[in-house]
Amino acid sequence: MGAELRKPPTPRQAPGRVFRWSLGVALGSLFACEAAPQINAEVKRQGSTVLTTESSVTIDSYVAVSVRGAPLATQIEYSISGTLTASTATIANRLAKELDVVVKRSEDKRNVTLTLAPPPDTTLLGSIELTIPAKIELEVGSEHEILVESMERSATATGYDQVRFVGNSGNVRAVTRNGNVVIDSALLPSTSATAEVGSGHITLLMPRNVSASIEAAASGGFVVNHPAFPRPLGTNRTSYSAVVNGGHGLARLLAQAGTVTLSAKP
């Protein structure tokens, strides 16, 4: 049975400190009496975090995020690049030099959370790039674009912009309010790919010989460019399901206001 359209997804609350922080900044700016900040300062910072017993990583970022899994990595390495805006040059330069990732470890030592957010009364544009061990579970949240590459365990991305998964061999899940989702996946046996989009399109790229079961719903219909999958029957269809080559991998896709495309990898 095909999936059913339902209420647009709302990004989860954790990681969510940055999401709630940005709402507070927006309201504060609306009612502020003083002039908006206009002085920019460049942000450049690199750092690392050692992992000991942690089996999962959470990344909560105000800016765009790129995460790459490295099989031989034993720690988290990151690089921040961007522009911080404040009310004066002195404040902007000082805060730009001080800006860094905040690291917090869970009490049971199983999770480490990295948070990147601008200080109060400032804005931050830019990106953070991270390299982490590939064999670790990942959760990442951002208000801007998210890219996750080469992870070997479960990876979840939640945000308000474009989300891309490339070359991941574990389970992947993307939830975005406004933006496209692209999942490039082998859909190996017993793995899954899940995407939920409020306003945007979903593209799933799979090998030509993939073994997969697909359950999808899309208000804008479906584009099937994969030779293993049947074309949708009829017009104006909002649901699609298919099982090919035994259906050993699973994909569940929901585009509330957009299309779903199934394509073969080049």
Query: Mind listing the pLDDT tens digit for each residue in 5-24?
Result: 554 444 444 455 454 445 44
| pLDDT tens column, 194-247 | 999 999 999 999 999 999 999 999 999 999 999 999 998 777 789 999 999 999
Cβ-Cβ contacts under 8 Å for 127 (sequence gap 6 or more)? 63, 64, 65, 66, 80, 81, 82, 144
Write out the two tokens for 251. 């994909």
Helix (H/G/I), strand (E/B), else coil: 214: strand
The domain ranges of the chain are 17-25+36-137, 162-266
Residue 37 DSSP symbol: P
Q: Strand, coil or helix: what is 10?
A: coil
Let me know: does 134 contact 151? Beta carbons within 8 Å.
yes
Percent of the chain with pLDDT over 90: 83
Residues 6+ apart with CB under 8 A from 194: 171, 172, 173, 174, 251, 252, 253
Tokens of 32: 């502020």
Give residue 233's pLDDT: 79
pTM of the full structure: 0.87
Q: Which helix (H) or strand (E) holds 92?
A: helix 89-98
Q: Give the pairing of strands 181-185 and 202-206.
A: parallel
* Pairing mode, strands 260-264 and 202-206: parallel
